Each structure stands twice: as C-alpha cells, then as structure tokens.
C-alpha cells in the first residue's frame, strides 16, 4: 500500500509538472504573439513615418522652389492626416505594450505638432504662393516649418526603430 501511495504521489507530481510546463508554454506563446503583433505595428509605423518624412521634405523643396500655395496645402494636409493616423496607431500600441517607450511616444507627438505647425504656416496669406505678390518671408517661414517637421518625423522614426530593436 505504501508503494502504491508513493507511486500515486509521483504520478501526481509528474502530472502537475507537465501541467505547469504546458501553462508556461502557453504563456510564452501568448507573449510571442503579442511581441509579433507589436513588431508588425512598429514596422508599419516606421515605414509610414519615414514615408511621411520623405513627402514632407518634398513639399518643403517645392515651397522653396516657389510652388503654388494651393498645391502645397493639399499635399501638406495629406501628410498631416497620415501623421495623425500613425500617431493614433502608436497610441493604441502604447496602451497594450510596455515595449513602446515614452521617448518614442513623445517623439511622435512632437512630429505631429511640427506637421500641424507646418500646415498652419501654409495657411498664412502669401505663405508659399510663388507669385510676385507673395511674401518671401512667408515662403521661408512655411518652408522652415516644413524642414522642422521633416526633422521631427525623422527623429520619431529613429525612436521607433530603437523600440523595434528591443522587442
């Protein structure tokens, strides 16, 4: 009877160990899935932010070359919408993961603000009209705001890349 009890105790211990291992494997699988999802979100955000930085730089160049304000406003508005969408996606990712750093979130918020500032700068009369009546100071101001937005977007992309490497 003692042997049966010892055998039953070993079996129970083995079953408990196996259950603990299955639970640990399931937990690790869930963590891996979360990391994979975050990695995908970060990859997409990095690509989006880098693309918007390139587009912002192109709009800045066009402003410095004297492009029409209406044309620039449409392009700038599209960039602003893209940045806002990327910022929303990152905000959601930040709520579900501690792997998205405060630094990256601040960099994205700064980029969003800089893009908004560039959009506002284009709204000023003569900001980038390229016409004789336009004010050269206004053109430079809008172009400078766009340059600052490009730089902020590049900093945000760099911060996201650093976070991506830590996932």
Question: What pLDDT, on the 0 to 100 scale, is given for residue 36?
Answer: 87
CA gap 159, 162 in Å, rounded: 5
DSSP count for the chain of H helices, then E strands = 4, 0
- Model pLDDT for residues 5-18, shown as the tens digit of each residue: 889 999 999 999 99
For 75, the token pair is 């392009």
Residue 148, pLDDT score: 97
15 is written with which tokens? 């079953």
d(CA 74, CA 122) in angstroms, rounded, equals 10
CA neighbor of 75 nearest in space, from 41, 118, 32, 33 = 118
pLDDT of residue 128: 56
Residue-wise pLDDT for 88-105, tens only, equals 988 888 887 777 889 999
User: pLDDT tens, 104-141?
Assistant: 999 999 999 999 999 999 988 766 544 333 445 445 58
The pLDDT of residue 31 is: 84
User: Which pair of tokens denotes residue 30?
Assistant: 């869930």
The tokens of 133 are what? 């009546």
pLDDT of residue 99: 77
Q: What pLDDT is recorded for position 95?
A: 83
| Residue of 125, 157, 154 lying closest to 141 (CA atoms) | 125
Contacts of 29 (CB under 8 A, 6+ apart): none
pLDDT tens sequence across 12-52: 999 999 999 999 999 999 888 888 888 898 999 999 999 99
């Amino acid at each position: 009877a003692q042997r049966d009890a010892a055998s039953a105790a070993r079996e129970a211990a083995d079953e408990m160990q196996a259950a603990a291992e299955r639970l640990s494997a399931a937990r690790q699988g869930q963590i891996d899935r979360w990391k994979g999802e975050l990695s995908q979100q970060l990859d997409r955000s990095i690509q989006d932010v880098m693309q918007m930085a390139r587009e912002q730089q192109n709009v800045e160049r066009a402003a410095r070359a004297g492009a029409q304000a209406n044309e620039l406003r449409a392009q700038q508005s599209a960039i602003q919408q893209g940045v806002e969408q990327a910022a929303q996606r990152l905000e959601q990712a930040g709520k579900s993961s501690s792997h998205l750093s405060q630094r990256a979130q601040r960099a994205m918020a700064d980029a969003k603000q800089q893009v908004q500032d560039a959009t506002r700068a284009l709204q000023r009369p003569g900001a980038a009209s390229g016409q004789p009546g336009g004010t050269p100071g206004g053109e430079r101001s809008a172009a400078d705001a766009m340059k600052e937005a490009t730089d902020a977007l590049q900093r945000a992309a760099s911060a996201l890349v650093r976070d991506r490497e830590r996932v």
